[in-house]
Structure 1
Amino acid sequence: MTTSQFSVDGKTAVVTGSSSGIGRAIVERFADDGANVVVTSRSLENVEPVAEEIDAHEGGGALAVECDVTDREAVERLLTETVDAFGSVDVLINNAGASFQAPPAEISENGWKTIVDINLHGTMHCTQVIGGHMRENGGGRIVNVASVAGQRGSRSMSHYGAAKAGVINYTTSVAADWAADDVWVNCIAPGLVATEGVRSQMGVEEDDDAIDRTRADRTIGRPEEVADLAQFLSSPASSYVVGETYTIKGTPRLE
């Protein structure tokens, strides 16, 4: 059996929000497979250690770039620095996001705009700028990270759910428009994943190291499990998958 169709070796991948959690798991996985990775978040001091750790091991190279995805000019600089370092961009993972819990009646206009700006507008900025480069240079892969909250809603997360629902619909729409340019656009909608953000906001105490990947009956995952799916969607193995949203949330809970 061959596994080469799942490889991202030799590709260059930009992963937003990759200083920790799911984003960090993705850059580490891709680099281990031989990809060059761009580690980016709003704080350079948070991404530099990640890039340095990746560079210390065999595999693809790593570049740390500070980028606020809500700032169009910052995203354009991100593209320029990536192309200067690696020559092109083959994969974009739109992972940068933010959330907080609040009842619908208590969400301020500023709070609403902040969450929509980071999760939805940030995805649009990166897709237009970096996806535009892909369209002009032979195509590429874009994977947007949404949430199950964008599929079915979530208590005290109406602002976040609305933004992620927008990401899911945006994925389908852009995929249809850009398929002719050989740009594959797909989406991942994770449920609970054992990241620091989930632990701090939702009171989940389970550490990712304690989660047994060999067990089917669970409703919390590890960041590496999302990275597995991101690699599939970034590789030739997903060549017939366009405009889809993959839910990754463990065991169904039926009423």
Structure 2
Amino acid sequence: MITIATDGSCIGNPGAGAYGLVAQGNGLLIERAIPVAATTNNEMELRGLLEALLLYADSLQSQGPATILCDSQLAVKGYNEWLDGWRSGGWRKKGGAIAHLALWQEIAFLKSLVGDRVAVQWIRAHQNRGTINDRVDALANACARSQRAVNGPALQDTLDGFAERLAAAYPGRTGTAASVPSPATIRAPGTHTPEDAGTVLSAARRLITDRLGSDPHAIALVTRIDAVLAA
């Protein structure tokens, strides 16, 4: 059994931040923390969860099932209770737009891959008992203050083929899932395709959606990008 604790930190909220994880079990110990110059606490919590899911899907599945521990109610309830409703509702909620939509879609994609092999559970923060959660809390906070990565870069920024497989699973990033690749094919070791215009536009779309959400100008720009990508 693998246990992965995640945490996000933001100095000032908004402000400089970081997200991190500590994974242990079966003789393994993996620590990672990634700084972000300008962010929010919620974004860091979600990126921590996303990084844990990617780590498991990419390299830890052979170790058996995993439990991800997270002290963010937003991340845990979103993963366990809200994702299906958001997807069936066209990626909107009753109150309007979903904050950090692009991150939630990536998390939903990974949830489709790992299925019931991964459980996401809430854990109380700041227990100060030397737990794995206390360890990742200290790791993320130190990274947020120093803005120096620990065992980076992040998989969500570098994993071969992740962006392409995500785009295939969510055409136009509207939440309509196409065929989802098997967990074994999330990464093809030794393969890499040069960055092209489509990859750049997809990355720009993700950034615009994540940062600006339902802003009318952002929606108009995303619509134009979608038209180019579909051409």
Q: What TM-score, normalized by structure 2, do the two folds share?
A: 0.28
Answer 1 or 2: higher relative contact order, Cα 8 Å, separation at least 6: 2
